[in-house]
Amino acid sequence: MPQDLAPSGRKVFIKTYGCQMNVYDSERMSDVLTPMGFSETQTAEDADLVILNTCHIREKAAEKVYSELGRLRVLKEERAAKGLKTMIGVAGCVAQAEGEEIIRRAPVVDMVFGPQAYHRLPEFMAEAQRGTRGQVETDFPVEDKFDALPAAERKKTLARGRAAFLTVQEGCDKFCTFCVVPYTRGAEFSRPVQRIEAEARRLAEAGVREITLLGQNVNAFHGQGPDGADWPLGKLIRHLAKIDGIERIRYTTSHPRDMDAALIEAHGEVPELMPYLHLPVQSGSDRILEAMNRQHTAESYLRLIERIRAARPGIALSSDFIVGFPGETEADFEATLDLVREVNYAQAYSFKYSPRPGTPAAGEEEQLPEEVKSERLQRLQALLNEQQLVFNASCEGRIMKVLLDRRGRRQGQLVGRSPYLQSVVVSAPESVFGAIVPVKVLRGGANSLDGELVETAAAAE
Ligand code: 5AD
Ligand code: SF4
């Protein structure tokens, strides 16, 4: 290790944008930096190293990063005036998409590296410090980046909470015509089962009770099993459910095409698998689904939902929607509203279509005016919010097991997550912090539930 990289109590500020995969990646970057003497800080002002872990999925992502870099340039100069050195790195999907362009437009940046390269951070830092030019690394190396992290270093991060993310799959081969992920995260890659299992065991030993298996296309998972065969996600879930301490399992994000029979059965048969599924449909119009290259129809999605509900009655469903895709007519949009009425979602995310440079849909001529997109988004969100409120209100009076993993805004309050991924606010003593306890739901609001602790666990879902 070069002299100036020796452990010395330096600070790193990692700003994370976007999806849960980025949250996971930021934690792993922090792990890599710990043996180099870095500890995390929550402000850029006292950081010796600032990393922006960026997201490119929607809106003016790249522009936001450049304006943040403008602020950081001022900060770097102010710190330099006090004799303090600041290194700046840009990671994640904007880094992947923009590459060299970032250093050209923002010379203040020392390093640019894509999502497949964060384990090589120490190397980039050494090179950036030696060289006069910024370091750019946006190739897709074939090695498993996950293996490059020493287990011991991870342990500290793993104790961060009772609920943790575990990346099992990365990348996407679907090429929906609106989406940058296949370009920024590359081809599908699944981690081998034994590695995932080892990480899940370490998480459980560190006190984690709920794991969310992450992947851009998580149900396309086909990791090598201990028997040498490719295992689908359903089989992986059954395997992980046997680990002592892992009481709850979730996974996100799924594609309708990859919901296979084994996975649907797992929803009915594995009690650890929580009754909640995020299954994006994007649109209810077959014409638009075709133009999006979604590889499913509204009808095939609805039949799939029927099978999932037959396997796991009462499962809470969630989705992503895009309104105002190029060429979307009022009738197409109404087909989306019809699908929403038919499914009845417990919660959902909806977005205005935003052209991502380099994706096929961005080049379409029939882009919709902003007002049309906004108006449709409002109508869709009104319907989705109504459904969410109805679902939350339907929980009143029920007793559910809640993982109390956060402290509430008020003294004496803890906040947890229900099996259906709702936030539940409970008056509870500190002694139950981190536990999974039965809670009676008193009130179901628009965005959360209020509940009270109950003595008997017997009746809890
Ligand atoms: N415009 C709007 N929304 C998008 N998403 C992905 N790409 C775009 C885009 N270009 C949404 C999709 C996806 C979610 C993660 O983000 O709904 O499921
Ligand atoms: Fe993007 Fe998901 Fe489509 Fe893959 S399946 S291209 S990640 S929207």
pLDDT of residue 139: 67
Tokens of 233: 């996600």
Give distance in angstroms: CA of 121 to centre of ligand 2: 27
Asked if residue 69 lies in contact with residue 44, where contact means CB atoms within 8 angstroms, the answer is no
Asked if residue 416 lies in contact with residue 409, where contact means CB atoms within 8 angstroms, the answer is no
Q: Tell me the CA distances in angstroms from 104 to 107, 184, 444, one per residue in order.
A: 6, 20, 51
Q: Is the CB of 259 under 6 A from ligand 1?
A: no
* Pairing outcome for strands 413-417 and 399-407: antiparallel
pLDDT of residue 143: 52
Quote the distance between the C-alpha of residue 254 and its chain's center: 12
pLDDT of residue 148: 59
Q: Considering only CA atoms, which residue is closest to atom 3 of ligand 2?
A: 176
Report angle CA 345, 311, 303 to the nearest 5 degrees.
60
Nearest listed ligand to the Cα of residue 278: 1
Q: If you ran DSSP here, which 8-state letter would residue 435 be given?
A: -
Asked if residue 12 lies in contact with residue 39, where contact means CB atoms within 8 angstroms, the answer is yes
Q: Tell me the CA distances in angstroms from 449 to 43, 212, 214, 313, 446, one per residue in order.
A: 32, 21, 26, 21, 8
Domains, the chain, in order of start with CATH, read 10-137 (3.40.50.12160), 151-274 (3.30.750.210), 282-394 (3.30.750.200), 399-453 (2.40.50.140)
Nearest listed ligand to the Cα of residue 181: 2
What are the pocket residues of ligand 2 if the criterion is a CB atom closer than 6 Å to any ligand atom? Answer: 172, 174-176, 179, 181-182, 216-217, 255
pLDDT in tens, 430-449: 999 999 999 999 999 999 99
86: Cβ contacts below 8 Å, ≥ 6 apart:
47, 48, 49, 50, 72, 75, 76, 79, 80
Give distance in angstroms: CA of 248 to centre of ligand 1: 28
Three-state SS at 430: helix
Is 395 marked as a binding-site residue?
no
pLDDT of residue 458: 60
Q: If you ran DSSP here, which 8-state letter would residue 367 be given?
A: P
What count of Cα atoms within 13 Å lies in the side-chain half-sphere of residue 218? 23
Low-confidence ranges of the chain (pLDDT < 70): 1-8, 59, 131-134, 138-160, 456-460
Asked if residue 13 lies in contact with residue 35, where contact means CB atoms within 8 angstroms, the answer is no
* Pairing outcome for strands 10-16 and 248-252: unpaired
Nearest listed ligand to the Cα of residue 296: 2
pLDDT of residue 25: 87
